[in-house]
Amino acid sequence: MLILAIESSCDETSVAVVRDGREVLSNVVASQIEIHKLYGGVVPEIASRAHTEALSGCTSEALEKAEVTLDDIDAIAVTNCPGLIGALLTGLSFAKGLAYSAKKPLIPVHHIRGHVAANYLAFPELKPPFNALVVSGGHTSILGVDSYTDYRTIGYTRDDAAGEALDKAARVLGMPYPGGAAMDKMALEGDKTKIKFSVSHVDGAPYDFSFSGLKTSVINHVHTLEMKNIELSDDVKKDIAASFMSALVKTVTTRIEVLLENEKRPLVLAGGVAASKNLRMGLEEICKKYGVELYLPPLKYCGDNAAMIGAQAYYEYQNGNVADLDLNAFATAAADKLPK
Ligand code: KG4
Ligand code: ZN
């Protein structure tokens, strides 16, 4: 089955052609980072406009690269939740138009389920059940993936996502948006014991996360240095980055350690922050200690892309999840309960 998939939930316009949920024939990603960099973060209105401009060209390119025509496509898949509502609506409207005019079924896909499915593209042997750790710019959660379409929320963030804290920490250190990757790299060169950023806990909820305290701590730390006229030299920045990343990784690994104490399912990492070397190393250590298999997605499928949406769409379709043209977009939606 050939699926044409469309992703436009944040600041990447992406269109892909995927065969049987596992084989990527094309995956075109048009990033808007250069536009949003000017503002230090994603500007929703600008994102919507840029998606509208890019969708048609990305679709032609995805078909061309896959060496297929729209006639060869069996279904159109689209991310309809969660994300920036205007951005989601551009992709959804475009997908509806395509599905209607080409008379193809329309498959709605939850963005987070897509991030998890990115791993199916790299690991042919990977099948549920497993647990997934999703760490991205907008989401941080631990999910029980009981089947391809049965999700259970084990833990979620009560405030900011890990990537949000990471990007704001990077911004206060003067790195351009989104600074996650630069921060991660810098952290490898610093001394992580220099500053004691605390690791948060949520009372009575061992799997839930909180990153807003860590975000505020790093911002306050930098402002205090500035007030004391202490120069933010490269060495100072490296130590802040290393100490910050160490606290962020520990926040995640302490939860995973509790999980692995109780359940020995394989662990699948997903989301933009899955590209973090520091996080990968932390998880490798824990999973090795507990003898649990760890799946780390290839870097090209960590960030937002449509191939991962095409992968999940195949299994949604098998499960009968096909939408009518009145399908809506939703800014928020839990991965275990698809909105209607
Ligand atoms: O999944 P994603 O592309 O978008 C959302 O769905 O949110 O995640 C974007 C996040 C940003 O916070 C970005 O800074 C972070 O992923 N990121 C990284 C790396 N590459 C991207 N964080 C740490 N290390 C990286 N190499
Ligand atoms: Zn994402």
Structural domains present in the chain? 2-116+301-318 (3.30.420.40), 127-300 (3.30.420.40)
Considering only CA atoms, which residue is closest to atom 13 of ligand 1? 180
Neighbours of 318 (CB within 10 A): 12
Question: pLDDT tens for residues 246-302?
Answer: 999 999 999 999 999 999 999 999 999 999 999 999 999 999 999 999 999 999 999
Q: Is the pLDDT of residue 225 over 90?
A: yes
* Ligand that comes closest to the CA of residue 136: 1
Check residue 199 and give its pLDDT: 96
Question: pLDDT tens for residues 79-114?
Answer: 999 999 999 999 999 999 999 999 999 999 999 999
Question: pLDDT tens for residues 118-163?
Answer: 999 999 999 999 999 999 999 999 999 999 999 999 999 999 999 9
Can you tell me the mean pLDDT for 188-203?
A: 97
Check residue 297 and give its pLDDT: 97
Q: Is the pLDDT of residue 340 over 90?
A: no
Probe ligand 1: pick from 273, 302, 309, 312, max atoms within 8 Å of CB?
Answer: 273
Q: Which residues line ligand 1 (CB under 6 A)?
A: 10, 136-138, 163, 166-167, 178, 180-181, 184, 271-273, 275-276, 303-304
Atom of ligand 1 nearest to the CA of 184: 24
**Å from CA of 235 to ligand 2 middle:** 32
Strand 2-7 and strand 75-81: pairing? parallel
Residue 56: pLDDT band with limits 50, 70, 90: very high
Q: What are phi and psi of 57, to 5 degrees?
A: -65, -40
Q: Which of 64, 17, 95 is nearest to 310 (CA)?
A: 17
What distance in Å separates the CA atoms of residue 240 and residue 124, rounded to the nearest whole number?
39
Query: Residue 29, SS3?
Result: strand
Crossing angle of the two packed helices 277-290 and 234-262, in degrees rounded to 10:
30
